[in-house]
Amino acid sequence: MAVFKRANRKSKPWGFQYSYKVDGISKQKTSFYKTRKEAKAAEAEYLTSTGGSVKIDPVITFADWYDKWLHTYKIRSVSELTMTKYATSGTIIRNYFKDLKLIDLTRMVYQQFINNYIDDGYGHKHARQSVQKLHSHAHQAIMAAADEGLIRRDYAAHAELGGTAGRSEDTKFLEADQFEKLRDYVDQFANPQRIALMMVQTAIYSGARLGEIGGLTWEDIDEKKSTISIDKTFKYRFVIRGADGSWPDREEVFGPTKTPSSVRTIKVSPVLIASLHKLILADKIKAISNPYHLLFLGPTGLPIYSNGVNKELRRALKHLGIERPGFGFHGLRHTHGSYLLYKGLDIQYVSHRLGHENVGITTKIYTHLLDAMTQKQDEKALNVL
């Protein structure tokens, strides 16, 4: 770092130079001024704001830094599904910031980014939960940049978040009587020719996630004990079969569960076991290419994805006259848990059955139901006393 004067230069002869690193390679940045006073002022500002130790990289963009951070710190520590969510945030960041340099990021610029995501003024609005997730991803990368000395401070700290209320509770859960009607419907009509409906049936009885259901194999079903073992997920976004119908290696087909606590073996109704027994027999008779013994192979030769199962679910709800706009396949998982709680099962048991990391997550999801149950218990207590 130095202030110097260039010989034989009439235009901006005074310079201020400092060093920085890009990917571990030392480089220099020089700015020129008309007078020595201006150059010394630039040096003083640099020393005051950075202590002389900040390794400012004037080249890298915020979007490129986010990608670099993501593939350095997250790729080996999160599931592929979570990695996909981080990558989606990266796309949002790149589309908004484009070529904005990391060193040009300010608190105001970042807040404008968040404001735009909340409501861009053209009819695109996002729920508070979505805003919080995007901010969480971007903020981690910005904090890392500050820790590395690439920027002067954490510009995402204290950002004002907002967003729409998101889906109401009505779109996340079915009422108990609606759930029972749907269960009875799928028990009657689910069969090996309607794979998507069989996946709906499995979600109703197990509360499992779509990826967990897609990853179920013949060996995961214990007919004697009436149990299903969940220890992996199907990599929906990554599995590509060859032109000849060949399958990729096992590690490219299956991924880990969302968290270690999601690995579980659960009891299910004999009704579901009988249904899956028929499906396994039908799969074996078909003799199609299925080296990993996946349960729910659809017409494409892969487990049916969210579009297919949601279409089948909406068809069933329409047939039953159940109006729940926005209710999707994942809502079956929420309803499975709420139905068990409604029937008086212990929340610790429900938490384990759903594979939640801790009972606090379960309590947060079902707050509305637990509050209603508490109110009923209060009324009973008053009657007793």
Structure confidence at residue 58 (pLDDT) = 66
Mean pLDDT of the chain: 87
Structure confidence at residue 43 (pLDDT) = 77
Structure confidence at residue 57 (pLDDT) = 61
Is the pLDDT higher at 63 or at 58? Answer: 63
Which residues have CB under 8 Å from 64's CB, separation 6+?
none
List, in sequence order, every residue forming a beta bridge with 22; answer none if it has no partner: 25
Residues of the chain with pLDDT > 70, as a percent, come to 89
Phi, psi angles (nearest 5°) of residue 34: -75, -40
Q: Evaluate if residue 18 carries a pLDDT over 80.
A: no
pTM, full prediction: 0.67
| Angstrom distance (rounded) from CA 93 to CA 247 | 35
Q: How confident is the model at residue 8 (pLDDT cuts 50, 70, 90)?
A: confident
CB atoms under 10 Å from CB of 273, counted, come to 19
Structure confidence at residue 29 (pLDDT) = 79
Structure confidence at residue 166 (pLDDT) = 60
Structure confidence at residue 24 (pLDDT) = 63
Q: How confident is the model at residue 370 (pLDDT cuts 50, 70, 90)?
A: low
Sign of CA dihedral 45, 140, 29, 60: negative
Structure confidence at residue 169 (pLDDT) = 55
Is the pLDDT higher at 4 or at 126? Answer: 126
**Cβ(42)–Cβ(16) below 8 Å:** yes
Structure confidence at residue 104 (pLDDT) = 92
Instruction: Determine the average pLDDT of the residues in 97-103.
Output: 94
Q: How confident is the model at residue 313 (pLDDT cuts 50, 70, 90)?
A: very high
Q: What is the largest CA-CA distance in the chain?
A: 99
Structure confidence at residue 293 (pLDDT) = 95
**Cβ(301)–Cβ(245) below 8 Å:** yes
Tens-place pLDDT, residues 223-238? 999 999 999 999 887 7
Instruction: Determine the average pLDDT of the residues in 283-307.
Output: 89
Structure confidence at residue 89 (pLDDT) = 95
Instruction: Determine the average pLDDT of the residues in 137-164.
Output: 91
Angle (deg, nearest 10), helices 329-342 and 347-354: 160
Phi, psi angles (nearest 5°) of residue 366: -105, 30
Structure confidence at residue 259 (pLDDT) = 86
Tens-place pLDDT, residues 191-232? 999 999 999 999 999 999 999 999 999 999 999 999 999 999
Instruction: Determine the average pLDDT of the residues in 168-190.
Output: 87
Q: How confident is the model at residue 171 (pLDDT cuts 50, 70, 90)?
A: low
Q: How confident is the model at residue 347 (pLDDT cuts 50, 70, 90)?
A: very high
What stretch of H or E contains 197? Answer: helix 195-206
| Angstrom distance (rounded) from CA 292 to CA 176 | 36
